[in-house]
Amino acid sequence: MQYITLDTETDFDGWRKAARSLVLHHVQPADVTWTVQGRDAELFAPQPPSPILEVNEGTFNVSGKFVELAQAAILHRDSERFAILYRLLFRLKDNHDLIEVATDADVAQVTAMARAVHRDEHKMHAFVRFREIGRERAAHYVAWFEPEHHIVELAAPFFAKRFADMPWSILTPDLCAHWDGHELSFTPGVGKSEAPGEDRLEETWRRYYASIFNPARLKVKAMQAEMPKKYWRNLPEASIIKPLIEDAERMTGAMIANAATDPHKPQKRPEAPMPRKTAANDLEALREEAAHCRACPLYKDATQTVFGEGPGNANIMLVGEQPGDKEDLAGHPFVGPAGQMLDRALEEAGVDRKKVYVTNAVKHFKFVPRGKIRLHQKPNTPEIRACRQWYEREVAAIRPDLIVAMGATAAQSVFGKITPVGKTRGRLIDLPDGRKALVTVHPSYLLRLPDPEAKALEYRRFVEDLKIAAGLQKKTARAA
Amino acid sequence: MDVQRKLAILADAAKYDASCASSGTEKRDSSDGKGMGSTAPGMGICHSYAPDGRCISLLKVLLTNACNYDCLYCVNRASSNVPRARFTIDEVVKLTLDFYRRNYIEGLFLSSGIIRSPDYTMEQVVSVARTLREAYHFRGYIHLKTIPEADDALIAEAGKYADRLSINIEMPQETSLQQFAPDKDVRAIRRTMGRLRLKLDEAEENRATKTKAKPQRFAPAGQSTQMIVGADAASDHTILHTSSNLYGSYKLRRVYYSAFSPIPDASRALPLVQPPLLREHRLYQADWLMRFYGFDVGEIVDDSAMLPLDIDPKLAWALRHRDRFPLDVNRASREELLRVPGFGTKAVERIIATRRTTTIRLSDLARLHVPKHKALPFIVLSDHRPSPHRLDAAGLIERFKPKATQLGFGF
């Protein structure tokens, strides 16, 4: 039998050193007895400590996951923890994957211990309550806490980083932690009487606790699951839990039973809403009207109507399909990836973007949500038809010479019927009202092409199409 | 009026907002010796729990409960006779620091009634955050309520100081909002959520590419919203459809569901009954199914239908799709395992790691933290196979229903 005595309850390094040596000497877990200096002195006759052999002849690897679990589990208050950890380590030496087997009894027990320690640490972070001693610059903050496991050293750095600018002490029966503004230190445990009994803010805190509680939603079990009674004796707010619960039913009953009082007339009338800007021109009025459009169901799920933008006297009007994700959020057409592609192509073709009016055949974004993203959906004919009035009224307000339809949806809107892009693209077409139309692809079609060569080719064709518009823009510029 | 009295009024006015999370933000502390505070990595910290089972993590108050708006469901509506109060900026700052120093809270959740104008109100709210961050170097958590239609510069500043921003959608459908909150405009709410998302995306891109030496900070814990459940007649399907839309459109971290609860001096136009807490609970379960379990709204609940109250939504789905079961736990894909009643995301990860080395048996379920009673009819293990008759039996659902005496709530 090997007798190992560790320096303290939290002596991980001592355990690790002894365990490593024991494993290398093939000492069976059943042949080791673990204890801590000073513990159980009266139960056992003092045993000669094992000569922990300085092992130099070998080493072995265990997974980082075990080390992490062991560092936490060793802080558990179960006195068997050193032995359980050694047993697991002994088995892991020849079976590395064992640590992933959640159904193994030792793995499950060590995992549960580590979890209990972390939960206790988390609860300490949450439930420590500092009390002020002295005021202003001389203030010192002192808390009394009773941890379930040996977690004071584990939990203390959190408080040092959080309350770096104030001196504090956390007193516990096991160990006390102190921060002087520069350094953490630890002293032996003390009794509760060493800690201050009250704080000037506690009455205010209880007032808040009582006011934030909604008596109509009493769920005492849910509260106790997260804040077990064992913590209550050190929480200043806990003294009012019982009266709050007892009073809850009466208060809720009163809220339900009491009919509402006569509505109160607000003393201060809200300022009258700002008068809407009178529409500067027809386009502004249209935009405002379209913001409230409900001609098809697409408005319901979209953020906003994305109306056309550009000068009211533009002689070229570009029509796309519908706003995309980014356009829907920003409220402006062609600001997303397709818009950037369009900008580049217009520049290459020699079209002055600032002198062009840009809009979409359908003015709400159609999509289906998939988790955190929205998948674009093609608008159907009834939706295109319902939205066509806005397109027609934009044309009437702007009176462009040339309308460029980008993609099939836009072409359908411009020509009033389904119009295949392939057969019509790249040439000027006369519209019944005397305007010219030009059909080309939608820039998002280029974005979707997977083959870079095809993409480059299609992009060239797109730019070529837009050059027809550029020619017309230059001609009218000369004429003017 | 003394600060304690104000605190009582303005906390009472804030408690119907369910959000209290202090999670998901950047890592920060005060170890540079300047100021005070830190953030808790990952899950946040709940410093206390009220007897309503809700976590108390942040000091949750309104700056003022005076409000121009008259939203019927709200305790602070203009026509209510509740007592009114207004904190000064310094009073909120001091309370936050005093509470924080004693480890009562993780930080501040500040909202406000709308006074004067949206911009004025937003400016007041932002001033508190600015003072905490700039004058006191407060490093704790700050959640600010964003006022729809507030100026872009104010929103940018709010995002600079806050960890999280939120705007409440309030009602699951536009018609209800028009009916109950005539001063609010769902379009304005959604437009502002859209603006927040664009700013969040931009900040995230800047962080990822590190193009700028110090990228503009914007609400690292993202945005959230709240919907009131049970004040209007919206079905669970409508509610979940709206949530799914909001998650997809604005990348919300959370949609909070708040069972409509009786309030002091309530409007006569609303149902003054016990809050539908069980319904709220089922909606949260369904919300989790959408976010972490790969379910679509349409799979969880049919058009215009309600979630069952007696069993959870995943179990209800499994009972409607018995042809997909029983599932062999030792072979099924992660996606399939996530759909087994009683299997949580962590249990599924443990199962996948474990079965690489060994087969899973009946006696292992407890160590995997899987409730046997719920899962057994749906799974095959190396030493367990449910009888086919049992899975097909019409009475299977009875196994899962709570005993009659428990109905009406074991909360």
- Tens digit of pLDDT for each residue in A372-388? 899 999 999 999 999 99
Work out the number of other CB atoms within 10 angstroms of the CB of residue A373: 14
Mean pLDDT of chain A: 90
- Give percent of chain A with pLDDT exceeding 70: 90
Bond from prior residue into A452 cis (ω within 30 degrees of 0): no
Segment A242-248 shows an average pLDDT of: 93
pLDDT of residue A48: 63
Q: Do A190 and A223 fall within a single domain?
A: no
Q: Do A302 and A240 fall within a single domain?
A: no
pLDDT of residue A203: 97
Question: Which residue from B165, B108, B132, B130 is spatially nearest to B30, judged by alpha carbons?
Answer: B132
pLDDT of residue A135: 74
- Reported as a pLDDT band with limits 50, 70 and 90, residue A44 is low
Q: Is residue A277 part of a domain?
A: no
Segment A26-54 shows an average pLDDT of: 74
- Reported as a pLDDT band with limits 50, 70 and 90, residue A137 is confident
Q: Do A85 and A206 fall within a single domain?
A: no
d(CA A337, CA A197): 63
pLDDT at A340 over 90: yes
| Secondary structure in 3-state letters for chain A | CEEEEECCCCCHHHHHHHHHHHHHCCCCHHHEEEEECCCCCCCCCCCCCCCCCCCCCCCCCCCHHHHHHHHHHCCCCCCCHHHHHHHHHHHHCCCHHHHHCCCCHHHHHHHHHHHHHHHHHHHHHHHCCCEEECCHHHCEEEEECCCCCCCHHHHHHHHHHHCCCCCEEEECCCEEEEECCCCEEEEECCCHHHCCCCCCCHHHHHHHHHHHCCHHHCCHHHHHHHCCHHHHHHCHHHHHHHHHHHHHHHHHHHHHHCCCCCCCCCCCCCCCCCCCCCCCCHHHHHHHHHCCCCCCHHHCCCCCCCCCECCCCCCEEEEECCCCHHHHHHCCCCCCHHHHHHHHHHHHHCCCHHHEEEEECCCCCCEEEECCEEEECCCCHHHHHHHHHHHHHHHHHHCCCEEEEECHHHHHHHHCCCCCHHHHECCEEECCCCCEEEEECCHHHHHHCCCHHHHHHHHHHHHHHHHHHHHHHHHHHHHC
Q: Do B7 and B151 fall within a single domain?
A: yes
Q: Do A329 and A211 fall within a single domain?
A: no
Q: Is residue B301 part of a domain?
A: no
Last residue of some domain: B222, B253, B275? B275
Q: Is residue B297 part of a domain?
A: no
Structural domain for A362, as ranges:
283-479
B78 and chain A: CB distance < 8 Å anywhere? yes
Last residue of some domain: A122, A139, A156? A122
SS3 (DSSP) at B383: coil
Tokens 């909120």 locate to: B92
Q: Do A343 and A365 fall within a single domain?
A: yes
Q: What are phi and psi of B159, to 5 degrees?
A: -70, -25
Q: Do A164 and B32 touch (CB under 8 A)?
A: yes
Tell me the residues of chain A between 34 and 73 that have a Cβ less than 8 Å away from chain B. none
Across A294-303, A469-478, B367-376, B377-386, least confident range: A469-478
CB A370 within 8 A of CB B248: yes
Among all residues of chain A, which has the CA nearest to that of B192? A329
SS3 (DSSP) at B182: coil
Q: Do B398 and B253 fall within a single domain?
A: no
Structural domain for B348, as ranges:
313-406
pLDDT at A277 over 80: no
Q: Do A368 and A447 fall within a single domain?
A: yes
d(CA A412, CA A381): 9
Q: Is residue A165 part of a domain?
A: yes
Q: Is residue A265 part of a domain?
A: no
Closest CA–CA distance from residue A268 to any residue of chain B (Å): 8
Segment A83-105 shows an average pLDDT of: 94
Q: Do B244 and B319 fall within a single domain?
A: no
Q: Do B204 and B331 fall within a single domain?
A: no
Closest CA–CA distance from residue A78 to any residue of chain B (Å): 19
Last residue of some domain: A238, A253, A268? A253
d(CA B17, CA B38): 24
Q: Do A164 and B36 touch (CB under 8 A)?
A: yes
DSSP letter at B336 equals: H
Q: Do A132 and A117 fall within a single domain?
A: no
Tokens 């604005």 locate to: B250
pLDDT of residue A276: 52
Q: Do B370 and B240 fall within a single domain?
A: no
- Reported as a pLDDT band with limits 50, 70 and 90, residue A280 is low
Q: Do B224 and B324 fall within a single domain?
A: no
| Number of domains, chain B | 2
Tell me the residues of chain A between 436 and 455 that have a Cβ less than 8 Å away from chain B. none
DSSP letter at B376 equals: G
Please, where are the H alpha helices in B102-252? 118-130, 152-161, 174-180, 186-209, 236-250
Q: Do B94 and B150 fall within a single domain?
A: yes
Q: Do A215 and A92 fall within a single domain?
A: no
Q: Is residue B293 part of a domain?
A: no
Q: Do B317 and B203 fall within a single domain?
A: no
Tokens 């809107």 locate to: A413
Q: Is residue B375 part of a domain?
A: yes
Tell me the residues of chain A between 120 and 139 that have a Cβ less than 8 Å away from chain B. 122, 125-132
Dihedral angle of Cα A423, A425, A427, A429, to the nearest 10 degrees: 70
pLDDT of residue A249: 83
Q: Do B327 and B377 fall within a single domain?
A: yes
Q: Is residue B285 part of a domain?
A: no
d(CA B191, CA A330): 8
Q: Is residue A169 part of a domain?
A: yes
Q: What DSSP element (H or E) covers B258?
A: strand B254-259
Q: Do A330 and A470 fall within a single domain?
A: yes
d(CA A225, CA A207): 23
Work out the number of other CB atoms within 10 angstroms of the CB of residue B243: 25
d(CA A260, CA B269): 10
* Torsion-angle region of A379 (φ positive above 0: left; ψ -120 to 50: alpha; else: beta): beta
Q: Do B226 and B324 fall within a single domain?
A: no
Among all residues of chain B, which has the CA nearest to that of A105? B367
pLDDT in tens, chain B (411 residues): 899 999 999 999 999 998 889 998 999 999 988 899 999 877 899 999 999 999 999 999 999 999 999 999 999 999 999 999 999 999 999 999 999 999 999 999 999 999 999 999 999 999 999 999 999 999 999 999 999 989 999 999 999 999 999 999 999 999 999 999 999 999 999 999 999 999 999 998 888 876 666 668 999 999 999 999 999 999 999 999 999 999 999 999 999 999 998 888 888 778 778 889 999 999 999 999 999 999 999 999 988 799 999 999 999 999 999 999 999 999 999 999 999 999 999 999 999 999 999 999 999 999 999 999 899 999 999 999 988 787 878 788 888 887 655 444 434
Contact residues, chain B, for A265 at CB < 8 Å: 79
Summarised one tens digit per residue, pLDDT across range A156-198 is: 999 999 999 999 999 999 999 999 999 999 999 999 999 999 9
Q: Is residue B296 part of a domain?
A: no
Q: Do B68 and B152 fall within a single domain?
A: yes
CATH code where residue B200 lies = 3.20.20.70
Burial (CB count <10 Å: 0-12, 13-18, 19+), residue A285: middle
d(CA A75, CA A96): 24
Which tokens go with B74? 């709200």
Tell me the residues of chain A between 217 and 256 that have a Cβ less than 8 Å away from chain B. 217-223, 226-227, 235, 237, 241, 244-245, 248, 252, 255-256
CATH code where residue A347 lies = 3.40.470.10
ipTM of the shown complex: 0.94
Q: Is residue B106 part of a domain?
A: yes
Q: What are phi and psi of A23, to 5 degrees?
A: -65, -45
Question: Which residue from A268, A294, A209, A193 is spatially nearest to A244, judged by alpha carbons?
Answer: A209
Q: Do B31 and A160 touch (CB under 8 A)?
A: yes
Q: Given strand B58-62, what is the order of strands in its sheet?
A: B58-62, B107-111, B141-145, B164-166, B223-229, B254-259
How far CA A129 is from CA of A115, A322, B256, in Å, comes to 23, 57, 29
How far CA A184 is from CA of A120, A173, B30, B39, B211, in Å, comes to 20, 18, 15, 20, 38
Closest CA–CA distance from residue A338 to any residue of chain B (Å): 17
pLDDT of residue B409: 44
Which tokens go with B369? 């933290």
Q: Do A361 and A441 fall within a single domain?
A: yes
Last residue of some domain: A194, A217, A234? A194
By Cβ distance, the residue of B12, B49, B357 closest to A227 is B49
d(CA B40, CA A6): 33
Last residue of some domain: B246, B275, B304? B275
Please, where are the H alpha helices in B132-185? 152-161, 174-180
CB A424 within 8 A of CB A411: yes
Q: Is residue B300 part of a domain?
A: no
Closest CA–CA distance from residue A50 to any residue of chain B (Å): 36
d(CA A315, CA A472): 9
By Cβ distance, the residue of A222, A266, A369 closest to B247 is A369
Summarised one tens digit per residue, pLDDT across range A51-70 is: 655 655 667 888 899 999 99
Q: Do A111 and A240 fall within a single domain?
A: no
β-pair partners for B328: B380
Q: Do A190 and A212 fall within a single domain?
A: no
Which tokens go with A291? 């913001």
Q: Is residue A408 part of a domain?
A: yes
Q: Do A372 and B48 touch (CB under 8 A)?
A: no
CB B60 within 8 A of CB B109: yes
Q: Is residue A190 part of a domain?
A: yes
SS3 (DSSP) at B102: coil
pLDDT of residue B411: 43
Segment A249-277 shows an average pLDDT of: 65
| Number of domains, chain A | 4
Q: Do B199 and B327 fall within a single domain?
A: no
